[in-house]
Amino acid sequence: MGLIGIATAKILSSFSVFLFLTIILLAVARRISTSVLLFGLQSAVITADVIATAFQEKLPEVYVVGVLVFAIKVMVIPRALFVLTKRLKTVRDVQASTTPTQSVFIVAAIIYLSYAAVHSYAGAIHVSDDALAAAVSVILTGSFLMVSRKKALMQMLGLLVLENGIFLAALITTFGMPLVIEIGIFFDILMGLLLMGIFTFRISDTFEHLDVSKLRRLRG
Amino acid sequence: MLLLLPLAIPVLGAGLILCFHNPRAATRAALGLGAVEIALLGVLVWQVHERGALHEGRYLRADGLSSLFLLVIAVVSALVLVYASGYLRHMGEGRFSSPRWFYALVFLFLFTMISVCVSANLGLLWIMMEGTTLASALLVGFYNTEGAVEAGWKYLIVCTVGIAFALFGTIVLYIAAVRAGMSPASALDWVSLMDAAPRAGFDPHLMRLAFVFVIVGYGTKIGFVPMHSWLPDAHAEAPTPISALLSAVLLTCAMYAVMRYDAIVSRAAGPLFSHSLLLSFGLASMIIAGLLILVQRNLKRLLAYSSIEHMGIIAIGLGLGGPLGLFGALLHTFNHAVAKSLLFFGAGNVRLNLNTLHVDSIRGLSRSMPQLSAALVIGALAIVGLPPFSLFVSEFGILSEAFAQAHYVVAILFLIMLSIVFGGFAFHFLGMLSGEPNRSPENARLVPSEYTTMACAALCLLVFGARIPHGFAVLLQEAMAVLK
């Protein structure tokens, strides 16, 4: 086992811990820019995991997916979100409806719940508890961010975190979906973000704020 | 080639339409391209009937079930394109909101929905389903008013999250298939999955887990209660031709996806689990939407809740299964699509002429706009399921299946909700039609594009109510054969 082999084994055994770290930090982040940075970091951890999986299982297709994740989720999306935050000139605060302390406790509960939920499945499909629990807790944290942060940009970010979790679940259980499908999914994410970007501009034009919780004219 | 052309025309057409800056030229181009597209879909449906399932590479396939839904798309899009040519006459040239943008986006929307119906691969099906949200979000927010932007944002976010859950469900199904020994390349292929389902030894727990995520995910797009929050807003704020497309075809396409999954999961893990989930979502949607119909004040929101109720009826038909249940559910998708298009067209004209959709402030329509009132009356009678209209036939089929299988609770709740919805529609529509007119319409007579589409839809409802044409009955049989 060479140096690369050792690195691969280390990445595969420890990436769950780094992911737990990113979701806890996301819970306490007070600024949109910090959250975007954390999303980029989380995607970088996932990239490392993808490349390590590709190396260990000797799957050339997965390298391509790794490059795509790096290009799209580590480089393009965080930059685009930074540009968007600057152009929209909104308040930099995420405007959470829970205090950071509460958020940390909620994310801790999410991690605990994820372990409890995946326990019976992880054994059946021969995957480590840690990896599957990490994926599920990333999905749940994404949903939590979407419901507890009022900024339109944070809802986009929550959605991205949620999608990261789903991607991770596919990766650790089956080494990813077929390449064509993965590329299609990436395309959808990019288009979705583009549209959400258009809509954030429209919201700020028509309402002069970006607080989604104040969008409540349509009810009943 | 037969499968590729109907997919290529809308995409190329969307690009072409964007080149026409003159609204009239754009409208003509859209009508021409629409005619070509609908003819191609007709040929495709005919060829599927003649030659059986068609393939194109590993990812595209059309069988009997696809062709039934393609027919629904073709009929409704024909009506919508013709109706829109008259409806958009007042629209000026704005940024992203001009007739050419409207038609270009409509064609992209059609492309994604047709692709959903001809996807052989469940992964591609998911990609295209997400594509339908993306293509239609700008159409929902088309008017750029406060309400439209809010509805568009809500639609985009709620449906994207919902669809993300469906992706998770797809992945769980993929895990189950790969673990059962299928090759990764064919583990998302619908036909291979159907072949393998009875004997491959899929883990039933994983299959059920997959179905839960899929029905919640695609159920968000269908508008099942309690994931329906986006639906009334989107339907009410979108331009009327788009409301008709959303209600008549988009929800139906999402239902199509659920049918495909239901078939696999029923084969692999027994029908009990997936069918009872469909029954519960169906009943919940019917009951909640039926009650909410009573308190609606906006005509288009009223129709939107009625769509949720009808999706509930279709889900109940699927959940009951059996020959009559399935027959009723498939026939109801078509009938509902036609009846709802007719009603939305009517609502669009109310809005154009009276500048309001508020049910309480509309009075005396039958005197001020007799032609429009006739269309609204036919639509309303059809949608509440009265004979001689076709929705009666499909609802009766589903109801007889419920009694035949001794699902008495389902049958009685079904009947109670139908009566409540009948009461709600009668109350709202009688209020709008009767009495002295309190506003004078801008144009009491309908223009040709409006009355031809409304008359076609009404005629279709009557004909299908009297007797299902032979060709369509064959199509239904072929669609049912696919799911068995």
Rg (CA), chain B: 21
Are B53 and B63 in contact by the 8 Å Cβ rule? The answer is: yes
Which of A174, A188, A202 shows the shortest C-beta gap to B174?
A: A174
Determine whether the interchain pair A169/B168 forms a contact, defined as Cβ–Cβ distance below 8 Å: yes
The phi and psi torsions of B265 (rounded to 5 degrees) equal -65, -35
CA distance to A204, A205, B54, B99, B143, per residue, from A198 (Å): 10, 11, 39, 19, 14
CA dist B395 and A79 (Å) reads 53
Beta bridge partners of B358: B298
| pLDDT computed for residue B240 by the predictor | 93
Give the distance from residue A59's alpha carbon to the nearest chain B alpha carbon, in angstroms. Answer: 12
Determine whether the interchain pair B167/A185 forms a contact, defined as Cβ–Cβ distance below 8 Å: yes
Give the distance from residue A166's alpha carbon to the nearest chain B alpha carbon, in angstroms. Answer: 6
Token pair 């798309």 in the structure block, residue: B73
Tell me the average pLDDT across A161-181: 88
Q: Find chain A residues with C-beta within 8 A of B171's C-beta.
A: 166, 169-170, 173-174, 177
Are A161 and A142 in contact by the 8 Å Cβ rule? The answer is: yes
Residue A73 DSSP class: I
Determine whether the interchain pair B134/A185 forms a contact, defined as Cβ–Cβ distance below 8 Å: no
CA distance to B189, B327, B376, B456, per residue, from B459 (Å): 39, 22, 13, 5
If one counts the domains in chain B, the total is 3
CA distance to A73, A97, A139, A140, B63, per residue, from B161 (Å): 18, 20, 11, 12, 30
CA dist A155 and B142 (Å) reads 22
Sequence length of chain B is 484
Determine whether the interchain pair B130/A163 forms a contact, defined as Cβ–Cβ distance below 8 Å: no
Q: Which helix (H) or strand (E) holds B388?
A: none
CA dist A32 and A27 (Å) reads 12
Closest CA to B250 of B132, B75, B162, B157: B132
Coil/strand/helix, residue B473:
helix
Alpha helices by DSSP H, B238-388: 240-245, 251-269, 271-294, 299-320, 322-354, 365-368, 370-383
| pLDDT tops 60 at residue A138 | yes
The answer to whether residues B355 and B409 belong to one domain is yes
| pLDDT tops 60 at residue B104 | yes
| Global pTM value | 0.94
The answer to whether residues B232 and B341 belong to one domain is no
Taking the CB of residue B2, how many other CB atoms lie within 10 A of it?
16
CA dist A27 and A42 (Å) reads 13
Which of B205, B239, B269 marks a domain boundary? B269
> What tokens were used for B331?
């026939």
The answer to whether residues B342 and B373 belong to one domain is yes
Nearest residue on chain A to B141, judged by CA atoms?
Answer: A199
Q: Find chain B residues with C-beta within 8 A of A65's C-beta.
A: none
The answer to whether residues B79 and B191 belong to one domain is no
Are A173 and B175 in contact by the 8 Å Cβ rule? The answer is: yes
**A and B: number of Cβ contacts within 8 A:** 121
Closest CA to B244 of B366, B75, B93, B381: B75
Which of B152, B161, B232 shows the shortest C-beta gap to A199?
A: B152
CA dist A41 and A77 (Å) reads 12
User: Residues with Cβ < 8 Å from B72, sequence gap 6 or more?
Assistant: B248, B249, B252, B333, B334, B337
pLDDT in tens, B277-304: 999 999 999 999 999 999 999 999 999 9
Which of B58, B115, B175 should be substituted to probe chain A, the one whose Cβ sees the most A Cβ atoms within 10 Å?
Answer: B175
Give the distance from residue B445's alpha carbon to the nearest chain A alpha carbon, in angstroms. Answer: 32
| pLDDT computed for residue A108 by the predictor | 95
Which of B185, B206, B296 shows the shortest C-beta gap to A178?
A: B185
Q: Find chain A residues with C-beta within 8 A of B236's C-beta.
A: 218
Q: Find chain A residues with C-beta within 8 A of B143's C-beta.
A: none
Confidence of residue B179 (pLDDT cuts 50, 70, 90): confident
| pLDDT tops 60 at residue A77 | yes
More confident residue, A215 or A62: A62
Q: Find chain B residues with C-beta within 8 A of A117's C-beta.
A: none
| pLDDT tops 60 at residue A220 | no
Coil/strand/helix, residue A31:
strand
> What tokens were used for B82?
């013709």
Are B330 and B336 in contact by the 8 Å Cβ rule? The answer is: no
B205, with CB counted inside 10 A (0-12, 13-18, 19+), is middle
Taking the CB of residue B34, how many other CB atoms lie within 10 A of it?
25
Are B165 and B254 in contact by the 8 Å Cβ rule? The answer is: no
B260, with CB counted inside 10 A (0-12, 13-18, 19+), is buried
Which of B119, B152, B174 marks a domain boundary? B119
The answer to whether residues B253 and B315 belong to one domain is no
Are A134 and A122 in contact by the 8 Å Cβ rule? The answer is: no
Are A170 and A177 in contact by the 8 Å Cβ rule? The answer is: yes
A207 touches chain B (CB under 8 A): yes
Tell me the average pLDDT across B92-114: 86
Determine whether the interchain pair B178/A174 forms a contact, defined as Cβ–Cβ distance below 8 Å: yes
| pLDDT tops 60 at residue A102 | yes
The answer to whether residues B128 and B217 belong to one domain is yes
Sequence length of chain A is 220
The answer to whether residues B437 and B421 belong to one domain is yes
CA dist B113 and A104 (Å) reads 42
**Region of poorest pLDDT, from A109-113, A215-219, B169-173:** A215-219
CA dist B127 and A78 (Å) reads 23
Are A15 and A135 in contact by the 8 Å Cβ rule? The answer is: no
CA dist B71 and B334 (Å) reads 9
The answer to whether residues B206 and B341 belong to one domain is no
Determine whether the interchain pair A159/B160 forms a contact, defined as Cβ–Cβ distance below 8 Å: yes
Q: At what angle do helices B122-140 and B146-179 cross, to 10 degrees?
A: 180
Torsion sign over Cα B154, B159, B160, B161: positive
pLDDT in tens, B443-477: 778 888 999 999 999 999 999 999 999 999 999 99
| pLDDT computed for residue A85 by the predictor | 87
The answer to whether residues B321 and B461 belong to one domain is yes
The answer to whether residues B429 and B335 belong to one domain is yes
Domain that holds residue B449: 275-484
Determine whether the interchain pair A169/B236 forms a contact, defined as Cβ–Cβ distance below 8 Å: no
The answer to whether residues B254 and B281 belong to one domain is no
ipTM entry: 0.92
pLDDT in tens, B186-241: 899 999 999 998 887 888 889 999 999 999 999 999 999 899 999 999 999 999 99
Q: Find chain B residues with C-beta within 8 A of A163's C-beta.
A: 164
State in Å, rounded, how far the first CA of chain A is from the last one.
63
- Percentage of residues of chain B with pLDDT beyond 70: 99
Instruction: State the pairing for strand pair B54-56/B60-62.
Output: antiparallel
Nearest residue on chain B to A199, judged by CA atoms?
Answer: B153
> What tokens were used for B187?
């583990």
| pLDDT tops 90 at residue B310 | yes
Residues 11-70 of A with CB under 8 A from B: none
**Domain range list for chain A:** 3-212
- Percentage of residues of chain B with pLDDT beyond 90: 81
Residues 115-154 of A with CB under 8 A from B: 121, 124-125, 139, 143, 146, 152
| pLDDT computed for residue A180 by the predictor | 85
CA distance to A46, B158, B259, B274, B483, per residue, from B398 (Å): 49, 31, 16, 18, 17
pLDDT in tens, A36-70: 999 999 999 999 999 999 998 888 889 999 999 99
- What 3 state SS string does B132-182 have? HHHHHHHHHCCCCCHHHHHHHHHHHHHHHHHHHHHHHHHHHHHHHHHHCCC
Which of B248, B269, B290 marks a domain boundary? B269
| pLDDT computed for residue B207 by the predictor | 93
Tell me the average pLDDT across B383-404: 95
| pLDDT computed for residue B440 by the predictor | 81
CA distance to B2, B8, B118, B181, per residue, from B53 (Å): 12, 20, 10, 26
Coil/strand/helix, residue A59:
coil
Q: Tell me the average pLDDT of chain A.
A: 88
| pLDDT tops 80 at residue B387 | yes
Residues 179-198 of A with CB under 8 A from B: 180-181, 184-185, 187-188, 191-192, 195-196, 198
Taking the CB of residue B11, how many other CB atoms lie within 10 A of it?
15
CA dist B265 and B271 (Å) reads 7
Which of B116, B133, B157, B359 should be substituted to probe chain A, the one whose Cβ sees the most A Cβ atoms within 10 Å?
Answer: B157
Determine whether the interchain pair A174/B184 forms a contact, defined as Cβ–Cβ distance below 8 Å: yes
| pLDDT computed for residue B97 by the predictor | 73
The one-letter code for the residue type at B320 is L
The answer to whether residues B329 and B339 belong to one domain is yes
| Widest distance between CA atoms in chain A | 64
| pLDDT tops 80 at residue A210 | no
